[in-house]
Structure 1
């Protein structure tokens, strides 16, 4: 910033800085979305976290397809959920 002579140069640096942070954040959120598990969370908390990630990704320019969203939800559910029912639903699409 010290080497900048004009305000537009400062704004360019600020933009580049936050753009790189956004890309890093998007990568981290995508990884969390693909690996999230329900675990001991309530269903509400589990779905809320996934929806928060999906909405955040959309806001920063990396939208998640509806099918991917659903696959992430179902993929993180424990075995006691009827995976045969869910896989049947996906196979018909």
Structure 2
């Protein structure tokens, strides 16, 4: 009888050990979660959704968990309890990592969601249209910018800020377009300079244009 009790105890202990082993967070995921604030140091806001999304997807995909975000891997059925528990453990830790990179203003959109895919798609649906609107607004600012009472360094710095914000919002501006916007915003006194740049046979680099403008 004592031997049977001992054997039963060993089986119970073995089952508990196996169950606990299955529920250990995988090392790659544990490392990613521990370092997520260093890998993605800027919290998600309305303005930086595209670059935030790119960074998160890159890091999770590189470690083998990108499909939890995109929904390509789904929760196993109840009949596969062990796999289901493991999937749930991984997914909830991914959710925690995502939430830690989201600013307080955005957090209410997703705080009650339970899966990483739900968080990912909800943010996409809410922020992607806003992001596109911001790109349009920024490009319109760039199109209309004028030197006015700014100094040349201030003018160029303002253009750079707008271009950088467009990049953060997930779009881009071609170098030749930036040159065109810079020249268009200069007053008539710069017309000889603008003509020289526009009629040049070789495209000018932005750094060279900046230097020439400051000298001018």
Task: Give 3-state SS (helix, strand or coil) of 1:21's partner.
Answer: helix
Alignment partner of 1:51 is 2:160: yes
- Work out the CA distance in 2 between the residues paired with 1:80 and 1:52: 25
The counterpart of 1:85, out of the listed 196, 202, 210, is 196
Structure 1 position 11, deviation (Å): 4.1
Alignment partner of 1:12 is 2:112: no
Alignment partner of 1:25 is 2:140: no
TM-score (norm 2): 0.38
The counterpart of 1:42, out of the listed 138, 151, 162, is 151
- Work out the CA distance in 2 between the residues paired with 1:70 and 1:17: 34
Structure 1 position 88, deviation (Å): 1.4
The counterpart of 2:183, out of the listed 74, 77, 81, is 74
C-alpha RMSD of the superposition: 2.1
Q: Which residue of 1 aligns with 2:208?
A: none
Unaligned runs of 5+ in 2: 1-108, 203-216
TM-score (norm 1): 0.80
Larger radius of gyration: 2
Structure 1 position 18, deviation (Å): 1.6
Structure 1 position 15, deviation (Å): 2.6
Greater relative contact order structure (CA < 8 Å, 6+ sep): 1
